[in-house]
Structure 1
Amino acid sequence: MKQVVQNYKSGELALLDVPVPGCKPGGVLVRTAYSLISTGTELMKVSEAGMSMVGKARSRPDQVAKVMQSVATNGVGPTYRKVMGKLDSYTPLGYSLCGIVEQVGAGIDDVKVGDLVACAGNEHALHAELNWVPKNLYAPVPDGLAPQHAAFGTVGSIAMQGVRQGEPQLGEVALVIGLGLIGQLVAQLLTASGVRVVGVDPDPARCELAEGLGAAACGDPASAAVEAAVAELTGGHGVDQVYLAAGGASNQPVELAAKLSRDRGRVVDIGKCRLDLPWNAYYEKELDVRFSRSYGPGRYDPSYEMEGRDYPIGYVRWTERRNLACFLDLLARDRVDVEPLVSHIADFDDAVETYRSLKDGELKAVAVLFRYPEQAAESGESEPATVTVPAVRRSGGAPLPARSAKAPVRLAFVGAGNYATSMLLPHLAGRDGVELSTVVTTTSLSAANAQRKFGFAQATTDLDAVLGDKSIDAVFVVTRHSSHAELTGRALLAGKAVFVEKPLALTEDDLSGVLAAVEESGNDRLQVGFNRRFAPLLQEAGKRFGARTGPASLRYLVNAGRLQHGSWYLQQGTEGSRFAGEGGHFIDTASWLLGADPISVYAVAASGNDDLQVVLRYPDGSTATISYVTTGPSSFPKETLDLVADGKVLRLDDFVRASVYSEGTAGRKRWVSSRLPKARDKGQEAELAAFIKAVRTGGPMPVPLESLVATTAATLAVQAGLHGGAPVTLESAR
């Protein structure tokens, strides 16, 4: 990948090819869409790098003091080599960006791949195509906020923290000295807080810009107009707060602050300006001088920034991450406007030339954005994304040995969690012709509990022993999502019929691995727990609906609801997204009702949550739209489905009631099921009965393997579509 770097010794700027950062636990890997150049902080660093060694020393006396301490401790030679080695190294630039989550590290559950996030930090939000960003240094971008505007998040947080330090109140008057990028944002935030703002800057264009964005009056620091505006707005008392957002070596801002402040006013230093406080002026007014430390509480604290340890909100209301999220919210609600601040947008490939133009004064700007390759090509033609549906090959391997139809079907369960013990095992325990042979879990007690409750003959933690037991006919894989593909492949290779809960696989490679096991072993005895097509109510409704001749339109609303805090479903880095884990149910149901496998997938996600809209297209022109939402009320039914075709409508209300409407030559017809007296039957019992029958008789599996593979590939294509922002073609392997 490419990254902007600078050699502090020589002043050289370069767009360097560097390795892609790894996605460590506790953070996310973000592909940058836009990054913002801080025309104050960054240009100061660029300018310093171009100085002589004496000039560098004069500009950074704090670093000179450290060098002298090192000389006293380690001697001249070692210190010289250490300093020269550090100076003659590439250092990064940048600290404010917006991008798309490309990979989610372990322990992250508040964003998912494809989400848009704003990122902060001079070590993590760099001018680079990819950045690893720890949890407390990113925030999800609200729905509808443009990425180029969200890229202002960090500088907005700096301005916001400065405003918070000033503690503004409704009706007060504030003076903002320096109307660069930070000063412009400070002025807007104060105006949004009900404070009247007077701005000071020697650049008339910046003064005009600030007035256009809400400042009451702006002018040159040497002009009488500023003093007159302050006197008029404050009745001659002086401003309540002064915000120093200027840089440079002049002491004028500090002196002006004292002159125009009221008695016991507040002076907040946000920028890096000279602070030789005129003692008499500050003493006589008893001015309260405050400093604003970057983005807010948490800055420079490794336990907060790197380890993700948040501060309790009851003790620290506004941390740097909360400031970041708050500023994004203000942008999304049009309380702050950054579009007028954008002076120039440069392609990332032109980064070095852009810095040179800024440094030399050819490009005069308040804010400059880098636009990264994918954004630059957004309006052009792009290659359509594809997900390959692997071909099912059954060559090789020996057929499964014949079994006696009179012998009980002996089952082993790998995993005995909530779903297995509530939705599967109750239908199998005590069933005629079924013997629960062995339960395998990773913890001894859970295996023992399942053995006691459901009557397994054995309980163990040894999976190899179970797979090697020739008396076991079928293995149920009911573990966490990330292990499904591997365990399924091992059981197939061991010659077992396999029932695996959804999802079959979380990646294309995992899916290919399962099919490689089928080909190697010749064993295709596989069923995935897509139970809804077996639901009696849906089966009956399908029969009432009858055959169709034209394309159909299907709408499936899934009110999935929120997950409880701590649920392992939230471990997206290892267990996949919620839709990856559950979405196969709904795709399989749609495909079964439409009688075909999808050929393309288009997915759109809401920002900040797991809500999805998935549109599936089928060979005959039929479409299925799955609305998977997590933000609906729990009082609303979980699943409602409508199928429309040929003048007919099938309606399913949460597996409690179904109806079919039709019109024809005989007039209007309507069939409505009776309300079920028992709990919802989503087909688990019928599905298990079909699987057991197939194992006992050696007949076909309840769902063809090709259909299971197509549904899994379509589920994977949803994630690919979210990342690419375009329809994904499902391409069959030849």
Structure 2
Amino acid sequence: MNNPIRWGILGAAKFAREQMGPAIHATPGHVLAAVASRTPNKAAPFAAMAPGLRVHDGYDALLADDGIDAVYVPLPHTMHVEWAMKALAAGKHVLVEKPVAMSVEAIAPLIAARDRSGLQCTEGYMIVHHPQWQRLRALLAEGAIGRLRHVEGVFTYDNSGDPGNLRNDARLGGGALPDIGVYTYGSTRWATGAEPEAITHADIDWEDGCDVLARVSARFPGFTAHWVNSMRLLPEQVMTFHGDAGLMRLTAPFNPSIFGPAELTLRDKTGVTRVERWPGANQYVRQVAAFGAAIRGEAAFPWKLEDARGTQAVIDAAYAAAGGRPQV
């Protein structure tokens, strides 16, 4: 493709090395052109994957690179808004890792900066690009399970043995809800098109200022939801949408390439069960392709900063219902 979109990555985070860097490199019409890292051995895997890659020794140096069109920001959570705004000011399109911010209020300046710039800037919420979620959303809209009455969501893992992980550091925006609550909460909102009316229950366990186990319930117009998110439980991922005429379940809704196969199970009131599968679908490659289409004006990106703000509002409300986050 002529005039490929040239990407730079701020930092050599593990997730960027293992998922987003390879996804950018694998997407037609996109080039992984530069990485900012002061540690050469961390940049080495990117250079091995993308010959000719430029390695900058600082984030500002990458933003000053005229050979970069779009920037991916996988920095610690508390740095997302700052560097996304700097990237916009430098004239770059921006895909910022989730959560885009640590509070609803912090997202407003970024939305304003995006609107002033005329550039694309959004959160990397990859699941909306996966066909299993697109299919579930369409089936809900068609009434495949009748009237939706309840959503049950679980996303857990155990990183208790990794105290240096930024997710265990409250000063860097650690915690289960910022890291994975965005998925159970946001996917419920996106799939149903509904917003919660109230948080009806919030029970959160804390360690050093980080929420490590959160059990939260909400009331939506016409249905309820209950979500469990934890950084201290056996790994599990499942989302269930329960209606009066059927039930749909995704058994690897968030990391299908890692946790298990991408499957949607639909059971109707007659007892008939059918299963749809999407082997090989890469939600990260699809996300890069969709971002490129938005940059080129070919299609609207399906997840905007306003969508991220809506999910953050649910997280903020869950914290408030549990008595607030501890001071760190």
Give TM-score, length-normalised by structure 1: 0.39
Q: Which SS does the other structure have where 1:429 is aligned?
A: helix
- For 2:85, the equivalent position in structure 1 comes to 489
Structure 2 CA distance, aligned partners of 1:462 and 1:493? 17
| Contact 1:436 1:456 (C-alpha < 8 Å) held by counterparts | no
1:222-273 CA deviation, whole Å, 9 max, x = no partner?
A: xxxxxxxxxxxxxxxxxxxxxxxxxxxxxxxxxxxxxxxxxxxxxxxxxxxx
Q: Which SS does the other structure have where 1:649 is aligned?
A: strand
The answer to whether residue 309 in structure 2 is matched with residue 709 in structure 1 is yes
Closer/same/farther in 2, CA of residues 518 and 617 from structure 1, 3 Å limit: farther
Closer/same/farther in 2, CA of residues 495 and 597 from structure 1, 3 Å limit: farther
| Contact 2:154 2:239 (C-alpha < 8 Å) held by counterparts | yes
- For 2:103, the equivalent position in structure 1 comes to 507
Q: Note the C-alpha offset of 1:706.
A: 1.9
Structure 2 CA distance, aligned partners of 1:445 and 1:547? 51
Structure 1 CA distance, aligned partners of 2:218 and 2:51? 43
Q: Which SS does the other structure have where 1:459 is aligned?
A: strand
Which of 99, 111, 124 in structure 2 is aligned with 1:529? 124
Identity of aligned residues (%): 23
Opposite residue 317 of structure 2, the aligned amino acid is A
Larger radius of gyration: 1
Q: Which SS does the other structure have where 2:203 is aligned?
A: strand
Closer/same/farther in 2, CA of residues 670 and 449 from structure 1, 3 Å limit: closer
Structure 2: where are the runs of 5+ without partners?
Answer: none
| Contact 1:545 1:649 (C-alpha < 8 Å) held by counterparts | no
Structure 2 CA distance, aligned partners of 1:563 and 1:448? 29
Opposite residue 702 of structure 1, the aligned amino acid is P
- For 1:518, the equivalent position in structure 2 comes to 114
- For 2:234, the equivalent position in structure 1 comes to 633
Q: Note the C-alpha offset of 1:461.
A: 1.9
The answer to whether residue 57 in structure 2 is matched with residue 461 in structure 1 is yes
Q: Note the C-alpha offset of 1:505.
A: 0.6
Q: Which has the higher contact order (CA 8 A, sep 6+)?
A: 2
Structure 1 CA distance, aligned partners of 2:154 and 2:299? 35
Q: Note the C-alpha offset of 1:645.
A: 2.1
Q: Which SS does the other structure have where 1:611 is aligned?
A: strand
Structure 2 CA distance, aligned partners of 1:456 and 1:583? 38
Structure 1 CA distance, aligned partners of 2:176 and 2:74? 17
Closer/same/farther in 2, CA of residues 629 and 705 from structure 1, 3 Å limit: closer
Q: Note the C-alpha offset of 1:577.
A: 2.0
| Contact 2:7 2:33 (C-alpha < 8 Å) held by counterparts | yes
Q: Which SS does the other structure have where 1:625 is aligned?
A: strand
The answer to whether residue 151 in structure 2 is matched with residue 554 in structure 1 is yes
| Contact 2:104 2:309 (C-alpha < 8 Å) held by counterparts | no
| Contact 2:7 2:30 (C-alpha < 8 Å) held by counterparts | yes
Q: Which SS does the other structure have where 1:700 is aligned?
A: coil
Which of 583, 605, 610 in structure 1 is aligned with 2:212? 610
| Contact 2:140 2:191 (C-alpha < 8 Å) held by counterparts | no
Opposite residue 673 of structure 1, the aligned amino acid is E
Which of 294, 297, 322 in structure 2 is aligned with 1:722? 322
Q: Which SS does the other structure have where 1:518 is aligned?
A: helix
CA RMSD between the two structures: 2.8
Q: Note the C-alpha offset of 1:631.
A: 4.1
Q: If each structure's strand is expressed as a fraction of its own residues, which one has the higher value?
A: 2
1:427-446 CA deviation, whole Å, 9 max, x = no partner?
A: 22153211222111243442
Q: Which SS does the other structure have where 1:505 is aligned?
A: coil
Q: Note the C-alpha offset of 1:482.
A: 1.7
The answer to whether residue 268 in structure 2 is matched with residue 662 in structure 1 is yes
- For 1:236, the equivalent position in structure 2 comes to none
Closer/same/farther in 2, CA of residues 437 and 715 from structure 1, 3 Å limit: same
Opposite residue 224 of structure 2, the aligned amino acid is T
Opposite residue 530 of structure 1, the aligned amino acid is Y
Structure 2 CA distance, aligned partners of 1:563 and 1:533? 29
Opposite residue 616 of structure 1, the aligned amino acid is A
Structure 1 CA distance, aligned partners of 2:117 and 2:244? 42
- For 1:730, the equivalent position in structure 2 comes to none
Structure 2 CA distance, aligned partners of 1:617 and 1:513? 29
Structure 2 CA distance, aligned partners of 1:492 and 1:710? 22
Q: Which SS does the other structure have where 1:527 is aligned?
A: strand
| Contact 1:580 1:716 (C-alpha < 8 Å) held by counterparts | no
Structure 1 CA distance, aligned partners of 2:159 and 2:59? 34
Q: Note the C-alpha offset of 1:697.
A: 3.3
1:52-95 CA deviation, whole Å, 9 max, x = no partner?
A: xxxxxxxxxxxxxxxxxxxxxxxxxxxxxxxxxxxxxxxxxxxx
- For 2:171, the equivalent position in structure 1 comes to 573
1:645-695 CA deviation, whole Å, 9 max, x = no partner?
A: 2412101112423211123xxx55421135x666xx672222222112222
Q: Note the C-alpha offset of 1:551.
A: 4.6
The answer to whether residue 59 in structure 2 is matched with residue 474 in structure 1 is no
Give TM-score, length-normalised by structure 2: 0.83
Which of 275, 285, 297 in structure 2 is aligned with 1:672? 275
